[in-house]
Chains A and B, each alone.
Chain A
């Protein structure tokens, strides 16, 4: 959605509230941003929905699309976790508390939370793509919303334990009776108490029930590719399997053409699609 006052290409002025490394190898950094102007904050939270993303902007470097990793109830800030892969993300990594930057968003459709009400949720994430699922889990798990949904199951895999994000909450969720959480790493490590293996295999092993349930998968393409059929095998219908897609993006509003998947633009019509929707689109990912 665009505001009346500002061009949709002009970033909202923000500044860094907190900046900290999320992984032990310092490849992932979390930025919590707050709004320079209250009106921008209001406009943002009026429409924000977990599963949406923003374009973070560093003047002179460019913009980078990142999923929102915070829930609205957490407060008047927006959280992102950036992997240091390119020139923009490396500039984002260089930011510290108090620094100014720009943000455009929220963009995209987000998760269809209304359609999921009263259903059991199976949330499956891998690597740093877990960020929007973290926002989703935080949202659903909050006491104001928890009653709207059924059983909550979380599967989260990372290559190593050091790459696990949001460790504080994850640790708390392990203790939480209200939630079933399965954490996995790719290769064995000393003192690791949870699963070892790839996410698709863990999903098959955990075998969440498809009855009155939706599954949502966000991860690296290779994980998603093998997890979707695992869910189909477990009896989830394509209409009840959701994933969030990524492609190179520039404008974020369905104009620049880059992120199309057939007639759909991932930035505007996505990034969240059901497997049923994806099956009807060309395999151009």
Chain B
């Protein structure tokens, strides 16, 4: 785990020296399982900053909610850094107004995996050297961190922020794309009927709360397609057509923009798996266009690019 004191010191420096107006990071939640995103605007508040494996949100989702010209400091892990880059590419924020405090990421713990194993009466969680110690009302548990990691993190390729202004701690080795691809390949290998059955089973638990949308840094449209009235793009309710429509279009809108941070899945109150769709699209983009979202702050996603030598005409 990165040194919390070093993070705090950097956050304090940024505020004290006026490098940024706000530092976006985490503060303790009411229970150890749920640290809360936090916005620090003065040095004294920073004492309250926390960072651990349970910080499950992609903080970049707050970037488009802050005034564009505000100077923002932000704690970023590998995926968050890429989300920030993708937002810069889409001109949602200029890089000059950002200061990224990078954290090489050991992976985000899926709190549901803790509750499954230890119950919800968790009083304390301590992480050390990839071992997680959990204190509950009645018991003590020890797990390897890998056992508790969120599925997206198990296939992470870029755990270290690629373009942070400062890195707190040592860079971690890149992940293995072949391993990352395994889940997608397994999904692809199914018959079309099985794939649809899988999709149906996941999508139809949806309650249309849009936590996945709100947790996603790339879902920043002022008016989401589901809220559009004329024309209406999908059924409004929790019907099979409505739920499937939402999940398909949501995934497609993420094409070459998704960094597989998994924030959508972690936000879902119904435990719906949805990264298998976006991951499939991510790997298609790698295979067909050699493109991964957010590796830099200049390259437009293939589907946002139009050039004169495009093979097909964009529109008839």
Chain A residues with CB under 8 Å of chain B are: 86-87
Residues in A neighbouring B230, C-beta threshold 8 A: 87
Bound-complex Cα distance A152 to B245 (A): 58
List 3 contacting pairs A-B, 8 Å CB cutoff, sorted by A: A86-B229, A87-B229, A87-B230
Residues in A neighbouring B229, C-beta threshold 8 A: 86-87
CB-based nearest B residue for A87:
B230
What band does the interface of chain B fall in when counting residues whose beta carbon is under 8 Å from A? Answer: under 10
User: Which are the 3 A-B pairs with shortest beta-carbon distances?
Assistant: A87-B230, A87-B229, A86-B229
Bound-complex Cα distance A86 to B229 (A): 10
Bound-complex Cα distance A87 to B229 (A): 8
CB-based nearest A residue for B230:
A87
What 0/1 pattern do residues 169 to 197 of B give for CB contact below 8 A with A?
00000000000000000000000000000
Residues in B neighbouring A87, C-beta threshold 8 A: 229-230
Q: Closest CB of chain B to A93's CB: distance in Å?
A: 14
Bound-complex Cα distance A86 to B228 (A): 12
Q: At the interface, is chain B mostly helix, strand, loop or mixed?
A: loop
What 0/1 pattern do residues 32 to 75 of B give for CB contact below 8 A with A?
00000000000000000000000000000000000000000000
B residues 221-266 near A (Cβ < 8 Å) are 229-230
Q: Closest CB of chain B to A212's CB: distance in Å?
A: 48
Q: Closest CB of chain A to B223's CB: distance in Å?
A: 14
Q: Closest CB of chain A to B296's CB: distance in Å?
A: 43
CB-based nearest A residue for B229:
A87
Bound-complex Cα distance A161 to B194 (A): 67
CB-based nearest B residue for A90:
B230
Q: Closest CB of chain A to B278's CB: distance in Å?
A: 32
Q: Closest CB of chain A to B235's CB: distance in Å?
A: 14
Q: Closest CB of chain A to B277's CB: distance in Å?
A: 31
What 0/1 pattern do residues 199 to 240 of B give for CB contact below 8 A with A?
000000000000000000000000000000110000000000
Residues in B neighbouring A86, C-beta threshold 8 A: 229
Bound-complex Cα distance A22 to B229 (A): 27
Bound-complex Cα distance A93 to B128 (A): 68
Bound-complex Cα distance A87 to B231 (A): 10
Q: Closest CB of chain B to A57's CB: distance in Å?
A: 16
Q: Closest CB of chain B to A87's CB: distance in Å?
A: 5
Bound-complex Cα distance A86 to B230 (A): 10
Bound-complex Cα distance A262 to B229 (A): 28
Q: Closest CB of chain A to B169's CB: distance in Å?
A: 47
Bound-complex Cα distance A73 to B230 (A): 39
Bound-complex Cα distance A269 to B1 (A): 57
Bound-complex Cα distance A179 to B20 (A): 65
Bound-complex Cα distance A186 to B7 (A): 59
CB-based nearest A residue for B232:
A87
Bound-complex Cα distance A15 to B159 (A): 65
CB-based nearest B residue for A86:
B229
Q: Closest CB of chain A to B76's CB: distance in Å?
A: 38
Q: Closest CB of chain A to B110's CB: distance in Å?
A: 34
Q: Closest CB of chain B to A69's CB: distance in Å?
A: 26
Bound-complex Cα distance A154 to B230 (A): 40
Bound-complex Cα distance A27 to B8 (A): 59
Q: Closest CB of chain A to B237's CB: distance in Å?
A: 14
CB-based nearest B residue for A62:
B229
Q: Closest CB of chain B to A8's CB: distance in Å?
A: 20
Q: Closest CB of chain B to A36's CB: distance in Å?
A: 28
Q: Closest CB of chain A to B40's CB: distance in Å?
A: 30
